[in-house]
Amino acid sequence: MIDFKVQGMTCGGCARGVTNALQRVDANAVVNIDLARKTVSVNSTADVQQLKQAIEKAGFAVTQ
């Protein structure tokens, strides 16, 4: 499980955007998002940097 702290997620649409971006990197990724805590947990075999870049390309800042 890979955990990210993500700034800028405020709604379900944001969560869908992040999930879709991550699943474009790894179609089998299991993504759990907590909007209140602004965290994204990903169960994936993809490279951490690729996942981080996907979140950033979706328009969000990864702070951890």
Q: Quickly state the pLDDT bin for 6 (edges 50, 70, 90).
A: very high
Domains and CATH numbers, the chain: 2-62 (3.30.70.100)
Integer CA distances (angstroms), 60 to 10, 16, in order: 11, 12
Are the CB atoms for 54 and 22 separated by under 8 Å? Answer: yes
Instruction: Quote the pLDDT of residue 55.
Output: 97
Which residues neighbour 11 within 8 Å (Cβ) at sequence distance 6 or greater? 35
Model confidence over 16-37: pLDDT tens digits?
999 999 999 999 999 999 999 9
H or E segment to which residue 5 belongs: strand 2-7
The reported pLDDT for the residue numbered 37 is: 95
Instruction: With H, G, I as helix, E, B as strand and everything else as coil, classify residue 24.
Output: helix
The answer to whether the pTM exceeds 0.75 is yes
